[in-house]
Structure 1
Amino acid sequence: MTKQTEELKQQPGLILQPGPSGWWDSERVSSPCVLRCADGKWRMWYYGGDPHFDREINLPTGRCGLAISDDGVHWERVKGPLTMGAVFEPHSDPNRFDAAHVGVSDVTYNNGLYWLWYFGGDSSFTQVGNMRAKGLRMQPGCAVSADGWHWLRLEGPYRGALLPVGESGEFDELFCGFPKVVRDRDGSWKLYYHTLHPEKGFLVGLAVSEDGLHWEKAGQVLGPGSAERFDERGVGTRHVLPIGNQYVMFYEGVNNSGYHCIGIATSTDGEQWEKQDGDATGGSVFAHASSGSGRWDARAVGTPCVVPQSDGSWYMYYIGANEGGSDELTSQHQIGLAVSKGTDYGQWKRWGE
């Protein structure tokens, strides 16, 4: 048994750690996007970085890679054709929106193609309060692939991006990143993204499309919860699924102490959302491990990706972060799995608990 296998067994929920030295993801892994494919294999696309990736970009993004599994629990990395085994990386054109760093936030399968919905930033600096941040003006993009391994970018109208950053005074003037996409039964598309407003916190926006290529913003659809809730500082990454006769949004919320949990909101039209109180910390449905426990996910659980199982239960893949780090690069990001209590997607436990 390898040291990493033993560590996985001892840490409930943990299923994928950073890669070995020399790989593109040897420092951090984040944002699992999982599909159960027609060939019986499970595929996970995720982003991360190595210790030599641009340290001025204080984000967990960098490049993207692929892992494959027979059961959705035990994963093996696939060495891709790009830098250090990645399958997707920043564009070589410095004038594009995604020239400095990229991150995958959704993968869908439509019309015989994998669609990779990603976000990226360039090398410009943005002043946010007292912080001068590189690569923060992120925008969404899209790429397609026949095999999930070799990707072709689809060119959007905003230096390659699908959407522009908001104008001065708009809620998304800082960035519009981390896209998640839903294709409705009528063939139209919805793209959910989030941003950070200096006063209002993390906010979720919506864009709509008739073809998945040309998008129009529809405004903010979700924001911070009330004081003492797990999402009092705002709502970030999310996964929206049509379940029954409604949309269900599994979303990452953050409190004023910087701890992250996952909650649920529901909607009948995908535009007007109502948060649902859960039984975990602060009204969440899945909380970080106890503070001070030393667990790998004691500070944050987020970037939920929810996959239905044949027996009616659900798997939720997520990123966990430990306590002790002072920013995105000093906390350790790893990937975990939670399992629903039967068919109830409002009750979760970590794999292995």
Structure 2
Amino acid sequence: MVPTPLLIDDRTIRVFLTVCDADNVGRPYYVDVDALDPTRIVAKSAGPLMQIGAPGAFDERGIVAAQVLRNPDGTLLMYYSGFQRSDSVRYQIFMGLAQSTDNGESFVRVQEPPILGPTPAESMFRCAPFVMPTEHGYQMWYTAGSEWETVNGKEVPRYSLKYLESTDGVTWGSEGMACMRFGPDEHGIGRPWVTRTPGHRYQLYYSIRRISLAAYRLGYAESDDGLHWNRMDGQLGLDVSPAGSFDSDGMSYTALITAHNKTYCFYNGNGFGREGFAVAELTAP
């Protein structure tokens, strides 16, 4: 689940993703695909790229890669969501950071504690980040929340998107600025992915959990400043397939990348990645 692409070279897109074991504990792996034909797999990691945390750690029950950035020195930074169980709720999710010096073959934690841990304002979820380097530091859009609620007899988390800035990409504030409001049928907005147009306008892709549905749908918004978003969900042009398809019930966790003047969108279908991940190509209207 949560495919996260990075251009390794002109020929290869490395898609970092999370694979869950029989206990539903996730670890990061990768799949390399052809940059000219991303439906063609050319290589896979031999095993997990890093292991879950020690007992009691914030990431003891799973690691979900959210974004991988390349530093100027060639090292890679992986921002990830770490799962931890709780006696009172099903889980809590906070943000970790790991580094790779071998082009993504393996990762080690930058620090053992989360870089975004619980705070009074965001006590349950501070996770699923998208981090964008700037001339002055880093921007980050991420999922945050402090509540669980019952929807159709099931306890589900309530979370939306917030925004923070950092000078070093490691140290962030204790509370982000809210930048996305719920619609009338929504209780979750997550996994942001942000791009910029040639005119420097922000484009935001995200996943929406509705009260009336048991699965995600996809959303799209635009902004001039990265904080105030104009939701344009109906203009995304990517929706569930007919009944019986792997993405007929749900679509989630979009991530975009451009290679050879083509833009691809990787995403999960039914079951939050239970049936794998897919890729769509942006076409002119």
TM-score by length of 2: 0.86
Q: What percent of counterpart residues are identical?
A: 21
Runs of 4+ in 1 over 6 A off after TM superposition: none
The corresponding residue for 1:181 is: 131
Shift of 1:240: 1.0
Structure 1: gaps spanning 5 or more residues? 1-29, 56-60, 323-327, 345-353
- The alignment partner of 1:37 has SS state of strand
The corresponding residue for 1:119 is: 81
Query: Partners in 2 of 1:259 and 1:138 — Cα distance?
Result: 19
Query: Partners in 2 of 1:223 and 1:89 — Cα distance?
Result: 35
Query: Partners in 1 of 2:87 and 2:266 — Cα distance?
Result: 32
Q: Does 1:287 align with 2:239?
A: yes
Q: Does 1:337 align with 2:241?
A: no
Compare the two structures and name the one with the higher strand fraction: 2
Counterparts of 1:125-274 in structure 2 under 5 Å? 125-128=86-89, 133=90, 136-146=91-101, 147-155=103-111, 160-167=113-120, 170=121, 172-184=122-134, 186-196=135-145, 197-198=147-148, 201-216=158-173, 217-227=175-185, 232-244=186-198, 245-256=200-211, 257-274=213-230
Query: Partners in 2 of 1:238 and 1:226 — Cα distance?
Result: 20
Task: Supply the AA of the counterpart residue of 1:162.
Answer: I
Q: Go from structure 1 to structure 2 and tell me whether the alpha carbon gap of 1:309 and 1:39 turns closer, same or farther (over 3 Å shift).
A: closer
Q: Does 1:103 align with 2:61?
A: no
Alpha-carbon displacement from aligned partner over 1:312-348 (angstroms, at most 9, x marks no partner): x4210001115xxxxx7xx834101111123x6xxxx
- The alignment partner of 1:191 has SS state of strand
- The alignment partner of 1:278 has SS state of helix
Alpha-carbon displacement from aligned partner over 1:276-295 (angstroms, at most 9, x marks no partner): 2425xxxx5421224xx111
Q: Is contact 1:263-1:286 (8 Å) kept? A: no
Query: Partners in 2 of 1:262 and 1:63 — Cα distance?
Result: 24
Shift of 1:76: 4.2
TM-score by length of 1: 0.70
- The alignment partner of 1:104 has SS state of strand
Q: Is contact 1:126-1:137 (8 Å) kept? A: no
Query: Partners in 2 of 1:274 and 1:100 — Cα distance?
Result: 36
Structure 2: gaps spanning 5 or more residues? 150-156
Q: Go from structure 1 to structure 2 and tell me whether the alpha carbon gap of 1:41 and 1:178 turns closer, same or farther (over 3 Å shift).
A: same
RMSD of aligned alpha carbons: 2.2
Query: Partners in 1 of 2:184 and 2:266 — Cα distance?
Result: 27
Q: How many residues align?
A: 270
2:20 to 49, 53, 59: 49
Q: Is contact 1:190-1:206 (8 Å) kept? A: yes
Task: Supply the AA of the counterpart residue of 1:241.
Answer: T
Query: Partners in 2 of 1:35 and 1:107 — Cα distance?
Result: 7
The corresponding residue for 1:65 is: 29
Alpha-carbon displacement from aligned partner over 1:66-97 (angstroms, at most 9, x marks no partner): 111223221245243xxxx1112202x32421
Q: Is contact 2:50-2:108 (8 Å) kept? A: no
